[in-house]
Structure 1
Amino acid sequence: MAVDYVMMERVDGKTAPQLDKDLRDFIEAGNTEINIDMTNTKYISSAGLRALLSAQKQINKLSGTMVLKGVSEAVREIFDVTGFSGFLTIED
């Protein structure tokens, strides 16, 4: 079952716990396909990266997929610099 999730504009120390909870709840509810719309996301901190990493690890254990869509150039650069683009699935 697929779930679509729209990510907030800023993913930082204040908002990352909600992202982490939302993704964990989706996965625990049996969703193994998560599509994350990042069209409006302008910034992601290390806390946000940790939330995505945690969700990706959980999804991998279930042989599921998590796809990030609409990633801005600035956020993609953060993924590239941190090495996250190597294990996250990013679609234009």
Structure 2
Amino acid sequence: MDIETETRGGARVIRPQGRVDSNSARELEDALLPCFDTPEPVLVDFTGLSYISSAGLRVLLLAARRSKATGVPLGLSGMSEPVAEVFTISGFAKLFRIWPDAEAALAELSAG
């Protein structure tokens, strides 16, 4: 898995590429959790993600807790159908603000 990061539209954007599973979840955790040390909203753009396991969901749960603790907004976008299905079945879709694409997410997250 590769992870791209950038600041765009006043938000920190994290783009995991490939698969997030037990072998790569720690890499996502190391890239994502420090983003909550700054006041910029955080967007995880799943456009390049083909698979997420329970280990990846655990990282996102940690991010949601950090977001709540710090007050730094967190959003998700660009989920493929298989990834969205994992979020729906697991109940995680109810825990996050999810947009169809990064542009819509950034417009709303940056507006406050």
Q: So what's the TM-score if we normalise by structure 2?
A: 0.76
Q: Which structure is higher in strand share?
A: 2
Q: RMSD between aligned alpha carbons?
A: 1.3
Task: Report the structure number with the largest CA radius of gyration.
Answer: 2
* Counterpart residue number, 2:81: 73
**What is the distance in 2 between the residues matched to 1:23 and 1:72?**
20
**1:4 counterpart = 2:13:** yes
Task: State the SS of the aligned residue for 1:67.
Answer: strand
**1:14 counterpart = 2:23:** yes
- 1:64 shift after superposition: 2.1
- 1:31 shift after superposition: 4.0
Q: So what's the TM-score if we normalise by structure 1?
A: 0.91
Query: Structure 1 segments of 4 or more deviating over 2 A?
Result: none
* Counterpart residue number, 2:60: 52
Report Cα offsets for 1:24-81 as digits up to 9, x if no partner. 12123x2441111101111000100000000111001122211111111111110010
Q: Does the 8 Å contact 2:52/2:83 carry over to 1? A: yes
**What is the distance in 1 between the residues matched to 2:12 and 2:53?**
24
Task: State the SS of the aligned residue for 1:52.
Answer: helix
Identity of aligned residues (%): 33
Q: Aligned pair count?
A: 91
